[in-house]
Amino acid sequence: MKMTLTVPLISVPLLDVIATWTLSLAMYRWGLAEPVLALWLLSLLRVGLLAASLQACSLSRSELPAWLQPTDLSWMLVMSGLLTPAYVSLAMATGLPSTEMLYGLHNWSALALNYASTGLVFLLRWHFFPPGSKGQSTGEAGTKATVSRLLACMRPDIGRFLLVALFLVLSSLGEMAIPYYTGRMTDWVMNEDDPSAFTNSIIAMSLITSASALTEFFCDCVYNVTMTGIHTRIQSSVFRSVVRHEIAFFDTVHTGDITSRITTDTNTMSESLTEKLSLLMWYLMRAVFLLVFMVKLSFKVTLFSIIGMFIISIIPKYTGRYYQKLAVEVQESLAKANDVAMETFTSMKTVRSFANEDGQSRRYSDRLEDTYRLNKKEAAAYAGFMWTNSLSDLVLKVSLLYIGGCLVSGGSVSSGNLVSLIFYQLQFTTAIEVLISVYPNVKKAVGASEKVFEYMDRPPALATLGTLAPPCLRAHVEFRNVTFSYPKRPDTPVLKNVSFELKCGKVTALVGPCGGGKTTCVNLLERFYQPQSGEILLDGRPIEQYEHKYYHNKVALVSQEPMLFARSVERNIAYGLDREPQQTVLEEAATCADAHCFITALQEQYKTDAGEKGKQLSGGQKQRVAIARALIRQPLVVILDDATSCLDGVTENTVLQSVYNGNRERAVLVIAHRLSTIERADHIVVLEAGTVVEEGTHQDLQNKGGCYQRLLQKHFQGFGKRTTEEQAEPVRSQALRSQYRQANGDRDRDRETDGLSVHIQTDKDLGRETDRQTMTPH
């Protein structure tokens, strides 16, 4: 039967009091031979009894308040039960009086102390790790996993870490010399009995402190060098993992997030681990030694100072709440000001073209004004916060001096030991303060590394595990019933059952209205995505079976928006090649792309910097460099996705001629909106709304009068401002268009339609009869 919370809350402590009384009685009777052992055994019995009574209450998690978890209850129980035997054992080991506690644990004062200590520990635990906090529940497992991953990264440097640990222990121990010998000198000043004590203390103090500083120096050197090595290793392996992710990953995750993981997160991690973890180690080791030395000198003073310190460590949390809230507001306000700066500088051309420099400056000043207002409040709050901190610190020091003074006058501590104790306590306080302030940073490092490892451990959804690399390839590509939708829009099929072929030595044009799915076909051919059904074959084998580098050397893409890198033109052309190409090979590729002339006209010719994303080149120049970059690897399948859209007619002809005729074994897939580019293809595939609606030669499709014909009509129709008369007479406009349609097959003469004159001329440059149009405003 389930009980309410009140019953166990009353009955369990009552039971505990009875158990403690029985325990004390048992100690008197049977524990006289081995009192400490008896105390431990009986205390364990007490814990067992209490655990059983709690179990009997069968408290479920839902019956407990949110701040009290079943595990907390169990820990409280264990702690309360074992606190007394632990204290007695420690007191006996350090020579402190323990008889009173050993036999008098049933006294009300001892019981109260026991409960108060347990309560204090759990108060601190709830304070630092509130129930349901991230670090406690779900995050805990992740944090543990991350820490073990971090340790795994450090494993290769285990030897160095052992050396660091050795230096750390030595130098921390050396740090104890100054307080210790200051105490000895104080005793000498007070007693002046041994004249050599002063000199000996000075010499020992100087030697030990110098040795400690030296070991600290070596420790720092070894530690920092090791951590920098680990940072470099992690950063490069994150980068290596991220570039292997599938393109869909880059579609969904913001570039800023990725770069922030590789740079900011790894830097945060490395900085925190290098600087903060080293501080944590130093001060932790120092605190341990200080505690040992303090306990040796006076257990009471040590206990008092520890309890006092924990209390004053809680005070800033409450006094600093307002200051922290303001600090967050200041950060947010600064971020808003930064947004304005970012917006302005990234859109400088737009700002200039709308002459809104003053407007943007005003917006920036307004935001800064907000920040300034908050800064003033924050400064006042900070002063208040610091004042409470200093005051509580002062109270602790004065109380400590008072207690120390009482002990000295009572004769239980010497003056020298009190001086040493005060020094130790001061250093201990600093150590604890540093540990408390540094710990969140180390947690932050673990958090940052969690994100970094998340990227490192993520397996690419589209693995490049193919191994095929045949020496001969026939360049025959086949799309077979391919259906595909982008991962971001899984419910919108972009390609529906698409089938077509690219044949060796032939030029295939993929045409269709915007958004029809042409570039998507290219994306699939480039293996950026995996189709949901159907397959893409190269020489009868699925493309994923080919070795990654081999495949992309054989199938070269010049994309719709070619991306150049911030490096020289020649390094852009040779991008991705295993070996530096010879100058002649480089120039040959550039000549095929009709880029050689413009490159040699540049100031530094092939060494000219293309600028960030190729910004220092014109659109047409960029396209030609991109075509050269594709051609230099002598591909068997060339994909030109609107790759000549920025070229003038003559340049486009030259480029296409070399692409089409450069290699008779080559299959070319050309995507274009210009008729001049399309109609010279051997085969045309019309893609509309993700479906192949027509296929054939230019002539066949024109005669068919289907989608392709409609596209051509729209193409020739052009645009123009409709006259008032036309607007009033849609029928006449219609007549004009049909008049134009009739004239569509008729070339070699000027036509007039919709306010544009279309001049069509025959061009035999390409070795096949082609037409080139120039549209000039009427």
What is residue 692's three-state secondary structure? strand
Shorter beta-carbon distance to Mg ion: residue 645 or 663? 645
The strand order across the sheet containing 541-542 reads 495-502, 477-484, 533-538, 541-542
We find the least distance from the C-beta atom of residue 720 to ligand ATP, in angstroms, to be 23
Give which of ligand ATP, Mg ion, none residue 8 binds (C-beta under 5 to 8 Å, depending on kind). none
Closest CB to ligand ATP among residues 434, 536? 536
Distance (Å, rounded) from C-alpha 684 to C-alpha 36? 95
Question: Of residues 66, 355, 472, 514, which one binds ligand ATP by CB under 6 A?
Answer: 514
User: Among ligand ATP, Mg ion, none, what binds residue 514 when CB lies within 5 to 8 Å by partner kind?
Assistant: ligand ATP
The binder of ligand ATP chosen from 302, 449, 519, 654 (CB under 6 A):
519
Q: Which stretch binds ligand ATP (CB under 6 A): 59-67, 199-207, 384-392, 509-517?
A: 509-517
Q: For residue 655, how many C-alpha atoms fall within 13 Å in the half-sphere facing its CB?
A: 32
Beta bridge partners of 555: 637
Q: Look at residues 504, 570, 569, 495 and name the one whose alpha carbon lies nearest to residue 535.
A: 495
Kindly tell me the burial class for residue 449, based on how many C-beta atoms sit within 10 Å of its own C-beta (0-12, 13-18, 19 or more): buried
Give per-residue burial for 210-220: e unless 16+ CB within 10 Å, then b: eebeebbeebe
Minimum separation from the CB atom of position 479 to ligand ATP (A): 13
Instruction: Determine the size of the site formed for ligand ATP (CB under 6 A).
Output: 14
User: CB 665 → ligand ATP: shortest distance, Å?
Assistant: 27
DSSP-assigned states of every residue in 320-342: THHHHHHHHHHHHHHHHHHHHHH
And the tokens for 325?
């809230």
Q: Which residue has the tokens 């001969």?
A: 472
For ligand ATP, which residue of 2, 488, 579, 764 counts as binding (CB under 6 A)?
488
Q: Which stretch binds ligand ATP (CB under 6 A): 70-78, 234-242, 488-496, 643-651?
A: 488-496
Which member of 61, 489, 721, 764 binds ligand ATP (CB under 6 A)? 489
> What SS3 class is residue 645?
coil
CB 496 to ligand ATP: min, Å: 12
Radius of gyration, CA atoms only, the chain = 40
Q: How far is the CB of 492 from ligand ATP (least distance, A)?
A: 7
Nearer to Mg ion, 518 or 633 (CB): 518
Region of 336-344, 482-490, 535-543, 594-602 interacting with ligand ATP (CB under 6 A)? 482-490
Residue 770 is a binding residue for ligand ATP (CB under 6 A): no
Q: Which helix (H) or strand (E) holds 370?
A: helix 357-410
536-565 footprint of ligand ATP as x/- string (CB under 6 A)? ------------------------x-----
> From the list Mg ion, ligand ATP, none, which binds 488 (C-beta under 5 to 8 Å, kind-based)?
ligand ATP
Partner from ligand ATP, Mg ion, none binding residue 494, C-beta < 5-8 Å depending on class: ligand ATP
Cα–Cα nearest to 695, from 511, 540, 521: 511
Check if the beta carbon of residue 321 is closer than 8 Å to that of residue 401. Answer: no
39: how many CB neighbours lie within 10 A of its CB?
Answer: 25
Judged by CB under 6 A, the stretch of 46-54, 338-346, 516-524, 606-614 that binds ligand ATP is 516-524
Nearest to 121 by CA among 90, 79, 88: 79
Residue 529 identity: Y
Q: Interface with ligand ATP by CB under 6 A: which range of 39-47, 421-429, 481-489, 620-628?
A: 481-489
x/- mask, Mg ion, residues 496-535, rule CB under 5 A, reads ----------------------xx----------------
Q: Which of 308, 316, 447, 516: binder of ligand ATP (CB under 6 A)?
A: 516
List 762's β-bridge partners, or say none. 771
Q: Which of 367, 518 has the CB closer to Mg ion?
A: 518
Least CB distance from residue 482 to ligand ATP, whole Å?
A: 12
- Please state, in angstroms and rounded to a whole number, the distance separating the CA atoms of residues 73 and 42: 20
Nearer to ligand ATP, 284 or 524 (CB): 524
Coil vs helix vs strand at 495: strand
Name the segment binding ligand ATP (CB under 6 A); options: 5-13, 123-131, 258-266, 515-523: 515-523
Sequence-separated (6 or more) residues with CB below 8 Å from residue 231: 266, 267, 269, 270, 273, 274
Q: Compare residues 485 and 651 and give the one whose CB is closer to ligand ATP.
A: 485
8 A C-beta contact, residue 637 and residue 475: yes
Q: How far apart are CA 540 and CA 644, in angstroms?
A: 30
Give yes or no for residue 677 binding Mg ion (CB under 5 A). no
Residues of this chain that interact with ligand ATP (CB under 6 A) are: 251, 486, 488-489, 494, 512, 514-520, 560
Q: Which residue ranges make up the site for Mg ion (CB under 5 A)?
A: 518-519, 560
